[in-house]
């Protein structure tokens, strides 16, 4: 049709430049067909249709992909060919391959529905200063022919456009969200100074005229790791356009039209895709390869210690100890030792294989370890009545504990209040205090008793927490006191330089004068 239009306009006395502008085609195309005879054009068209194309060797893969998924992009098919053939590079340029896919669509009548969304350009921040985070979801076919929804977490460095994608097979929780950050920072080898988020229920509870109230778990994570937060307003593509494009790229460039088998292999394939394509291709906006720019930007990222990597995912969610000394976890009740409970007492749950540990949220002390129960509504763990020491009467035990501290008045008064507040569990309280006496020095325990008494904290668990707190405080104080003190090596300590008689120097000077 281009040939026919060119000839028609030529007959209407338009020149070549006018024809080029009128049809919106390149001037060289007009020049090619300007003096071409109809017979020559028909022959050239016939040869073009029969001439083999370099991408024809992949025609079966292209046709199969387009017929099954008509909206599949040329870039995704190009990457799929590399994955199927195991080649890191194809002998067909990607631009030529896109034209080939367009030709296949026309030849076989496979149309593509395209929906576009526009974003406004935002200036790139300095290296290492910002990343953007968002989440998405997609429904995929499984090996059994059913469909399953999976959920994506994406982080992209705003300067280099270096990306990380993490998938889970269930809706997001705060713990999952924190773990995704840890995995992202591990993948990047550090963290930026600011992260831009969309408002989401796993991140922020509410917004009060600009004052964000974060979920407890995410606030714990921010306090531990320490990065700045910027929350976008709703429908604000100017602030988070980069990550919106990354999520779209991950969903339609990697995940779409894949068969989902399990989440672990899916994440492994996604990392391979990032290294092969997602971070290895020239970015359309920056005209640079993200992986290459990242080699520079990673030097500007803030280092994150192993402690920051490991702790927040475990410490991100606090669980309350209930009055009956149990902790509710995934619809089951897990026992902790009697006397652990105090008002507002919080612990962390640390799953490890088929077991879990319940640890103090402040001190990290392990209260109990139980097998993980897969049922619902079960009470896990034996009663402390089965294990406590019954060899002494309660009166004898009370007297023996007081005797350990030489009946110190502060200790006696502390035990009196413990007895009043926890009369039913006083034996367990005494046993715990006796155990603390075996583990800690008396002065530290007495200081902790004073600390608890001043604050009206009367229980063995509060005493234990105070002991940990004060011991750590003393250790930190010693470090501060010794800071800046440089000790001499042992061989230089304790002595003073020898003092020689002046006559020795006079003798040496006379010898030098006689010799010289």
Query: Mean pLDDT over all residues of the chain?
Result: 80
Q: 73 burial class (0-12, 13-18, 19+ CB within 10 angstroms)?
A: middle
- pLDDT for 174 beyond 80: no
Query: How many Å apart are CA 263 and CA 176, to the nearest integer?
Result: 14
- pLDDT for 493 beyond 50: no
pLDDT classification of 504: cutoffs 50, 70, 90: low
Distance of CA 296 to the CA centre of its chain: 21
Q: Give the fold, CATH level 3, of 130-311.
A: Nucleotidyltransferase; domain 5 (3.30.420)
- What pLDDT was estimated at residue 125? 85
Instruction: List all residues 6 or more positions away from 442 whose beta carbon is below 8 Å from its beta carbon.
Output: 405
Top pLDDT among 333 and 117 is at: 333
- What pLDDT was estimated at residue 500? 58
- pLDDT for 120 beyond 70: no
pLDDT digits (tens, 9 = 90+) for 237-292: 555 555 567 888 899 889 988 999 999 999 999 999 999 999 998 888 788 999 99
pLDDT digits (tens, 9 = 90+) for 92-110: 888 889 989 998 898 888 8
The whole-number average pLDDT for the span 151-156 is 93
pLDDT digits (tens, 9 = 90+) for 36-65: 888 887 777 776 666 677 888 898 999 999
Angle between helix 174-188 and helix 306-315 axes, rounded to 10 deg:
170
pLDDT classification of 317: cutoffs 50, 70, 90: low
Nearest to 279 by CA among 265, 264, 266, 292: 292
Domain boundaries, the chain: 2-108, 130-311, 318-376, 388-516
406 in the Ramachandran plot: left (φ > 0), alpha (ψ -120 to 50) or beta?
Answer: left
Query: How many Å apart are CA 437 and CA 495, to the nearest integer?
Result: 43
- What pLDDT was estimated at residue 162? 94
Half-sphere exposure of 148 (CA within 13 A, CB side): 19
- What pLDDT was estimated at residue 310? 42
pLDDT digits (tens, 9 = 90+) for 207-230: 555 555 567 667 777 776 778 888
pLDDT classification of 315: cutoffs 50, 70, 90: very low
Distance of CA 97 to the CA centre of its chain: 36
- pLDDT for 479 beyond 70: no
128 in the Ramachandran plot: left (φ > 0), alpha (ψ -120 to 50) or beta?
Answer: left
Whole-prediction pTM: 0.47
494 in the Ramachandran plot: left (φ > 0), alpha (ψ -120 to 50) or beta?
Answer: left
Query: How many Å apart are CA 148 and CA 260, to the nearest integer?
Result: 8
- What pLDDT was estimated at residue 213? 57
- Contact (Cβ atoms closer than 8 angstroms) between residue 471 and residue 446: no
As beta bridge partners, residue 134 has 154
- What pLDDT was estimated at residue 234? 52
- What pLDDT was estimated at residue 414? 92
pLDDT digits (tens, 9 = 90+) for 13-31: 889 988 888 888 888 888 8
pLDDT digits (tens, 9 = 90+) for 405-457: 888 889 999 999 998 888 877 888 888 899 889 888 888 899 999 989 998 88
Query: How many Å apart are CA 182 and CA 309, to the nearest integer?
Result: 6
- pLDDT for 184 beyond 70: yes
């Amino acid at each position: 049709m281009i040939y026919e239009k060119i000839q028609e306009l030529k007959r209407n006395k338009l020149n070549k430049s006018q024809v080029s502008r009128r049809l919106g085609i390149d001037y060289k195309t007009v020049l090619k067909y300007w003096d071409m005879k109809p017979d020559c054009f028909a022959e050239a068209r016939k040869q073009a249709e029969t001439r083999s194309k370099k991408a024809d060797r992949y025609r079966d893969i292209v046709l199969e992909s387009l017929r099954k998924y008509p909206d599949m992009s040329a870039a995704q098919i190009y990457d799929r060919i590399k994955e199927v053939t195991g080649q890191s590079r194809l002998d067909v340029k990607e631009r030529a391959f896109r034209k080939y896919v367009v030709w296949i669509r026309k030849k076989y009548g496979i149309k593509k529905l395209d929906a576009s969304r526009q974003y406004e350009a935002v200036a790139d921040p300095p290296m290492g200063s910002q990343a953007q985070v968002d989440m998405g979801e997609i429904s995929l076919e499984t090996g059994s022919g059913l469909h399953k929804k999976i959920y994506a977490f994406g982080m992209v460095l705003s300067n280099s456009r270096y990306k990380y994608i993490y998938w889970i097979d269930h809706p997001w929780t705060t713990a999952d969200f924190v773990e995704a950050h840890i995995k992202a920072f591990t993948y990047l080898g550090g963290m930026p100074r600011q992260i831009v988020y969309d408002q989401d229920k796993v991140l922020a509870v509410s917004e009060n005229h600009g004052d964000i109230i974060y979920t407890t778990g995410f606030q714990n994570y921010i306090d531990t790791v320490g990065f700045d937060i910027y929350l976008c307003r709703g429908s604000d593509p100017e602030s988070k356009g980069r990550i919106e494009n990354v999520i779209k790229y991950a969903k339609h460039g990697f995940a779409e039209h894949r068969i989902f088998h399990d989440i672990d292999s899916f994440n492994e394939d996604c990392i391979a895709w990032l290294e092969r394509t997602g971070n290895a291709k020239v970015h359309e906006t920056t005209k640079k390869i993200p992986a290459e720019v990242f080699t520079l930007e990673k030097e500007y990222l803030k280092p994150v210690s192993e402690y920051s990597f490991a702790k927040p995912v475990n410490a991100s969610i606090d669980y309350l100890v209930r009055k009956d000394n149990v902790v509710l976890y995934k619809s089951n009740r897990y026992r902790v030792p009697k006397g652990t409970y105090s008002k507002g007492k919080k612990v962390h749950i640390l799953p490890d294989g088929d077991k879990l540990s319940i640890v103090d949220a402040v001190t990290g002390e392990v209260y109990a370890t139980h097998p993980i129960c897969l049922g619902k509504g079960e009470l896990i763990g034996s009663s402390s009545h089965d294990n406590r020491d019954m060899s002494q009467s309660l009166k004898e035990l009370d007297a023996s504990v007081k005797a350990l501290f030489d009946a110190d008045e502060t200790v006696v008064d502390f035990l009196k209040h413990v007895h009043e507040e926890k009369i039913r569990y006083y034996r367990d309280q005494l046993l715990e205090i006796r155990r603390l006496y075996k583990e800690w020095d008396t002065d530290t325990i007495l200081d902790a008793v004073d600390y608890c008494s001043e604050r009206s904290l009367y229980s063995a668990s509060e005493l234990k927490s105070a002991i940990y707190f004060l011991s750590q405080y003393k250790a930190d104080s010693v470090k501060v006191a010794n800071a800046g003190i440089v000790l001499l090596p042992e061989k230089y300590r304790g002595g003073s330089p020898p003092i020689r008689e002046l006559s020795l120097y006079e003798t040496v000077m006379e010898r030098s004068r006689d010799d010289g």
